[in-house]
Amino acid sequence: MGDWKTTVGLPRGRRPRSFSPLREHLRDTFWFAPSAALVLVVVVWSAATAVDDAILTALRDAGDEDTVSDLLGIAEDAKTVVTTVSAAMMTFIGVVFSISLVAVQMAAGQFSPRIVRIFVRSRITKVTFAVFLATFVQSLLVLTSYDSQSDPALVSSIPLVQAVLTLILVGLSVILFVLYVNSTLRLMRVGHVVDLIASEALRVVANMPLDISADEPVGLGAETARFAHHGRAGVLRDVDIARLVRAARQHGVVLRLVPRIGDFVVPGTPVFSVHGGPATKGLGTLGFRVAVGAERTYHQDLGFGLRQLSDIALRALSAAVNDPTTAVQAVDRIVQFLSSVARRPLGASLHRDRQGTVRLVQPVPGWTELVDLAFAEVRICAVRSPQVTRRLLAGFDDLLDAVPEDRRAPLLRHRALLVQAVERTVPEAADRAFALHPDRQGIG
């Protein structure tokens, strides 16, 4: 919390993207998309039924019994397909998703339990499940619309449009099934998983605001009040930056977020401190400007992606998995992430009002903290894996060339500790020399 002379703030004219707890909840659940699809399919079926009735009425008013007879024959032919779809679709859904859940469980055990959120939040997964259920319900509804009468003069319903919609849903289900299988198989590939994690983490970096006066110290003034968290215990996922800045400007104060995004907070934990003014009346609603949940998210959390990449590397280096190549792929992305923030100001985000006055100070991890998160645990576990030590040393060398002089110290420290650990652990001089030779591919 003391590294405020290197700060980031909000560029002029750019509004921070707000965090929606409802939207995040819906993305983390699996029930909303299928439920919405079921409601939608009932509405569409009702509309199709109305169209079918209108067509039948119009043909009868015109006295065109031959066309009614032809449409009745087409609808009867389509009934065979609709019946088959109705009988097979639910079994198909159960088998497909049972196999998929097993695949996800295997991927979570191999990489990290936190990658399950990738499957749960996958749009193609939810859309596929929703369309499968909608196809099943649509086929049942269509079967209820068939009339037992076969006489064109007496038939009261010809579900022609409904049957066509069912066939369209079947075709869409086949296409989505292919896309879904492809997506699930990609989820089992470590390269795809680490690429997704790195992409999300780099998106957080890209959304980090930059301040013009990044090298100036911040004078917050004396602390006049603190506001504690009174909601449920959980991970701090987000703060409503725009509303907090507005509230601080209205009261002429500066707010400082005490915990960092990703910290676990419990009731009574100080969340905000007020600086630079005695006016605290009306700021009691600050607790409603924070979002707390069960899991960390990428939103405003600079270290979450790095945490997941480190977890994958650690799992790969464990004796149970023993997969150093996966660890090397995770280290590749770790180096990529650190390179992206190598020259960015870190330590705290300064958010200003329209007049340019600092109104909110939000802590973010500093450079040393990010380097420790990236390498401390991986370095300790990689000592007996020459493939990973070689990749780590190459990563250190690349980062040392990319960072400013004042950020070289933590990299040099971890590099020296890795060399010392290898020299202490590996008995043979030739093996030590091999393990300490930098190589971006680990072992060629």
Assigned token pair, 80: 């065979």
Residue 205: predicted pLDDT: 86
Chain centroid to Cα 282, Å, comes to: 35
- How far, in Å, CA of 106 to CA of 113, rounded? 10
Residue 371: predicted pLDDT: 95
- Sheet with 290-293, strands from edge to edge, namely 264-265, 234-239, 290-293
What average pLDDT score do residues 368-392 get? 94
Assigned token pair, 127: 């859309």
| The pLDDT of residue 309 is above 80 | yes
For 383, what's the count of Cα atoms within 13 Å in the CB-facing half-sphere? 17
CB count in 10 Å sphere of residue 243: 14
- How far, in Å, CA of 20 to CA of 15, rounded? 15
Residue 281: predicted pLDDT: 59
| The pLDDT of residue 383 is above 60 | yes
Return the residue matching tokens 């007049």: 355
Q: Are 302 and 337 in contact (CB under 8 A)?
A: no
Return the residue matching tokens 């040392």: 400
Cα distances (angstroms) measured from residue 205 to each of 37, 305, 345: 35, 10, 11
The β-bridge relationship of strands 254-257 and 358-363 is: parallel
Contacts of residues 30-37 at CB distance under 8 Å and 24 or more positions apart, as own/partner, are: 30/120, 30/126, 30/129, 32/126, 33/126, 33/127, 33/129, 33/130, 34/126, 34/129, 34/130, 34/133, 36/130, 37/130, 37/131, 37/133, 37/134
Assigned token pair, 157: 């319903």
| The pLDDT of residue 217 is above 60 | no
- Which neighbouring-strand residues pair with 290? 239
Residue 204: predicted pLDDT: 86
14 contacts: CB under 8 Å, gap ≥ 6: 209
Predicted structure pTM score: 0.78
- The string of pLDDT tens digits covering residues 9-47 is 333 334 445 556 667 667 777 788 889 999 999 999 999
Chain centroid to Cα 367, Å, comes to: 24
Residue 282: predicted pLDDT: 58
At residue 112, φ and ψ (nearest 5 deg) are -170, 140
Residue 297: predicted pLDDT: 82
Residue 9: predicted pLDDT: 37
The β-bridge relationship of strands 234-239 and 7-9 is: unpaired
| The pLDDT of residue 88 is above 80 | yes
Please choose, from the candidates 114, 376, 117, 362, the residue with its C-alpha nearest in 3D space to the C-alpha of residue 220.
Answer: 362
Share of the chain above pLDDT 90, in %: 30
Assigned token pair, 208: 């980090």
Band of pLDDT at residue 134, cut at 50, 70 and 90: very high
